[in-house]
Structure 1
Amino acid sequence: MNVAELLSAATDLATDGFRTDAGLTVDDIRRDLDLTEWELALGMLVDVSDEYPQPVRFWQLLAEAAELMRLDRSVAWCHWRAYEAVNGVIRADLALSAPEGGGRRSAIPGTGVLRPMWEIGHRTSAGEPDLAIARIWVEFASALEPGQQGSVRLAPLTPQRWRHLTPGDLITMHEIAAPIGIAEIISVLPSAPS
């Protein structure tokens, strides 16, 4: 399929009530598709609000279109959202420790490549924290600098271990032994319809 066909197929798969964070609907996107505004249409489609979860195939089609347009960050985002469509969404407000307080000395890249460990409330049989791994996607920025705070999305390696979390819960980020950040859960949403 070409870009137009992929974007049109994704638009056709959009669930009832589809709305972007900016309030745009499927009709707005179809108008841009008719005007051959492929990148604009892709941008609107990937901006779908978390309140309107889309099926995995929707995100796969968008990833293919973004690949054809050579939009690497959009490709990564669509793959991320496909993962969320299967496993649910975990958003959190992450505050990184400052380097002088034992925190990271380099920024967290924004595109989900860092896989730190998290203390999420589980214990080993010896009573020690049983850490879990989750990738981080930094929202609204290309990176999260040391000592800064920002919104992140988490993609757990074992999603079922994270199902007990609710908004307001605090989890601790680890990279080695010492904690390097605290995150407050903002929202936990279920997987998308199939």
Structure 2
Amino acid sequence: MDVPELLEAASLLVPEAAATENDITLSDVWDYLVHEEWEVALGLLEELGDGHPLPLRFWETLAEAAEQMHLERSTVWCHWRCSEIRNGVIRADLTLLPAASARRQTPISGPGVLRPMWDIGNRSPSGAQAVNIARLWVENAPTLEPGGRAAVRLVPLVPSQWQHVQVGQQITMHEDSTVAGAATVLEVHAPEPAIPSS
């Protein structure tokens, strides 16, 4: 499919009554599609998807359209949203230790590059602390400086290890054996059940 077909297919997966906080609706998307403003239509569909739980196919279709339009940030974001649906997502309020107190001296890249370890309360068979890996996306910022604070999205590498994580829980981030930051869990969304292929 080409870009217009992909965007039309994605828009058909959005509930007609869906609207963003800014009152953007599916009607707005169709207006831009009719006028062949593909990039604007893609951006509006992303906004609608961020405000409503939409199926994996929606994000896969948007990712393909973004790839064809060579929109790197949108492509990465849509693939990230696919991974959230497959693996679940934990939103948290993260504060990094300041550079003077931690090994990290440089900012964290925002768009899902870092895969730190997290102490989420799991234990090894011997009873020692066990850490679990989750990719990290900094919301609304390209980076997070040492000592900085931001809302982040975590996608677990092994979702079953994160099933006990709850809103309000305190978790710590590690890039080595030392603590790199502390976070409070804001939201927990389990992975979507896999749909068997026909």
TM-score (normalised: structure 2): 0.91
Could you report, residue by residue, the CA deviation over 1:32-90 in whole angstroms, capped at 9, with x for unpaired residues?
A: 11121211111111123555211111111101111111111110000000111223221
How far off is 1:192 after superposition? 5.0
Secondary structure, aligned partner of 1:146: coil
How far off is 1:122 after superposition? 0.6
Alpha-carbon separation, structure 2, partners of 1:28 and 1:88: 30
**Corresponding residue for 2:176?**
176
Alpha-carbon separation, structure 1, partners of 2:79 and 2:131: 25
Alpha-carbon separation, structure 2, partners of 1:2 and 1:139: 30
Q: How many residues align?
A: 194
Alpha-carbon separation, structure 2, partners of 1:78 and 1:175: 26
Alpha-carbon separation, structure 1, partners of 2:164 and 2:79: 25
Alpha-carbon separation, structure 2, partners of 1:173 and 1:90: 13
Alpha-carbon separation, structure 2, partners of 1:188 and 1:17: 25
Alpha-carbon separation, structure 2, partners of 1:160 and 1:19: 33
Could you report, residue by residue, the CA deviation over 1:75-132 in whole angstroms, capped at 9, with x for unpaired residues?
A: 0000000111223221111100001012411111111111010000111122211100
Alpha-carbon separation, structure 2, partners of 1:45 and 1:153: 20
**Are the counterparts in 2 of residues 103 and 147 from structure 1 also a CA contact under 8 Å?**
no
Alpha-carbon separation, structure 2, partners of 1:88 and 1:20: 22
**Are the counterparts in 2 of residues 134 and 157 from structure 1 also a CA contact under 8 Å?**
yes
Gap regions ≥5 residues in structure 1: none
**Are the counterparts in 2 of residues 53 and 85 from structure 1 also a CA contact under 8 Å?**
no
| 11-20 or 107-116, larger mean C-alpha shift | 11-20
**Corresponding residue for 1:32?**
32
Q: Kindly report structure 1 stretches of 4+ aligned residues shifted beyond 6 Å.
A: none
How far off is 1:165 after superposition? 1.3
Alpha-carbon separation, structure 2, partners of 1:53 and 1:107: 31
**Corresponding residue for 1:101?**
101
How far off is 1:144 after superposition? 0.7
Secondary structure, aligned partner of 1:182: strand
Alpha-carbon separation, structure 1, partners of 2:123 and 2:151: 27
Secondary structure, aligned partner of 1:136: strand
The amino acid across from 2:70 in the alignment is R
**Corresponding residue for 2:11?**
11
**Corresponding residue for 2:110?**
110
Is 1:166 aligned to 2:169, yes or no? no
TM-score (normalised: structure 1): 0.93
Alpha-carbon separation, structure 1, partners of 2:80 and 2:102: 30
- Counterparts of residues 1-194 of structure 1 (less than 5 Å): 1-15=1-15, 17-48=17-48, 50=50, 52-192=52-192
Gap regions ≥5 residues in structure 2: none
**Are the counterparts in 2 of residues 21 and 47 from structure 1 also a CA contact under 8 Å?**
no
After superposition, the CA RMSD in angstroms is: 1.7
Identity among equivalent positions (%) equals 48
Closer/same/farther in 2, CA of residues 192 and 102 from structure 1, 3 Å limit: same
